[in-house]
Amino acid sequence: MALFQKQPITQNQPLYTISGGKSLLVIGLGNPVKKYAGTRHNIGFMVVDEFAKANDFAAWHLNKSLKSEISLANLGQSRVILAKPQTFVNKSGEAVQAVQHFYKVGNSETLVIYDELALPFGQLRTRLGGSDAGHNGVKSLISHIGEDFGRLRIGISSELADKSDAEKFVLARFSKAEQVSLTKILGEANTLITEYVFSGQLPHDTRTII
């Protein structure tokens, strides 16, 4: 059962035409090629896919001009745009800038979800603004739209990370043991997104669920 009552809308309908409502942009970072599906670097894609499924969003639609897959729904008093940039992680800023411009959404209404090697697996952290912390996708975002956007960082670090090259580690799939806990992590991420949609605010928060 969906958390909210869905109201059908068309994929190319600009969100700024809504009277009295607000538009929120929720972006999951990841790499679009099939071989990267299920990898640590694609946790952002996993989160927005799960959120879309749980809340009966419209089917994902590839918008070539926005360099993104887009899915839309009305949730509560907000209209929510979900986006998955198709530029590969390191060029995510190009797509996000295009999506923001088309839908007239600013950084204060934007939440970006991505993997964070500096946080342990099972920990999630939200905040507004900050540096790229070595994440090339976030570095691209900052170069295109500035740093004052909302972030939901999903921890992926583990003992395996200490034994591996960082690039190989983030592009590898989750271990079997980690996969058992992914459902809890995705569920908590969806809870955080839901709270953001309802309140329109993103607190500085850390949650450890494993």
Q: What is the pLDDT along the chain (210 residues), one digit of tens a residue?
A: 444 444 444 444 443 333 447 999 999 999 999 999 999 999 999 999 999 999 999 999 999 999 999 999 999 999 999 999 999 999 999 999 999 999 999 999 999 999 999 999 999 999 999 999 999 999 999 999 999 999 999 999 987 776 678 899 999 999 999 999 999 999 999 999 999 999 989 999 999 998
Whether 204 is catalytic: no
Q: Under DSSP, is residue 44 helix (H, G, I), strand (E, B) or coil?
A: helix
Pairing status of strand 78-85 against strand 22-28:
parallel
What is the distance between the alpha carbons of residues 95 and 14, in angstroms, rounded to a whole number? Answer: 16
Task: For 139-193, give the DSSP string.
Answer: HHHHHHH-S-SEEEEEEEE-HHHHTS-HHHHHTSBPPHHHHHHHHHHHHHHHHHH
Domain 20-208 classification at class level: alpha beta
- Residue for token digits 């964070």? 116
pLDDT of residue 163: 66
Angle, CA 129 vertex, CA 190 and CA 144 arms, to 5°: 100
pLDDT of residue 164: 75
Catalytic residue among 41, 101, 135, 204: 41
All structural domains of the chain with their residue ranges: 20-208
pLDDT of residue 160: 74
